[in-house]
Structure 1
Amino acid sequence: MNISIIGRQMTVSDDLKMQVERKLARFDKFFPEGADATVTFSRLRDKECLEITISYKGMLLRSEEKNLTFLCALDECVEIIDG
């Protein structure tokens, strides 16, 4: 899976990038090569926002969460997509 990590008006740390890659690795069994994932980090007042979009052969999976930390938002987004 090709993963693009974007920080809106912020810089995403290497640690967060590694966490994203580790968490999204669980979807490799569902999406072979050719799937694209875009992960967008942003901040809204007192919340950390995370969006994950996975596209594969015309299919689109998307999850967006706001939480106190990016790691909690990441966990919630992955759980939503995992179903």
Structure 2
Amino acid sequence: MSTSSQTPAVTAFAETAALWAVMNEDDAKARRIVRDMYPNERAEFAAQLDRLRAMLTDRFGNDIPTGFKPRVQVLDEQGRFVARKSGGAA
């Protein structure tokens, strides 16, 4: 999905500029943006991307149907098991 003909205002933020570069298949630009971030900014951005990814797929990479509640919240930031939740359609 190339969107290079548009230049949104959201590129004023490093995180969205990096995502915009990835969406436009400009990995070199995305790497430069991420490389220029402070370590704590990269860590926070990674956590945000992890949250977003969890909204898109289950832990096996399968699409999550609309209205589905995840059955398991698997790991915390240190990779330890957190909690099991029963779930299903809302």
What TM bracket, shorter-length normalisation?
A: under 0.3
Instruction: Give the helix-richer structure, 1 or 2.
Output: 2
TM-score by length of 2: 0.24
Instruction: Give the strand-richer structure, 1 or 2.
Output: 1
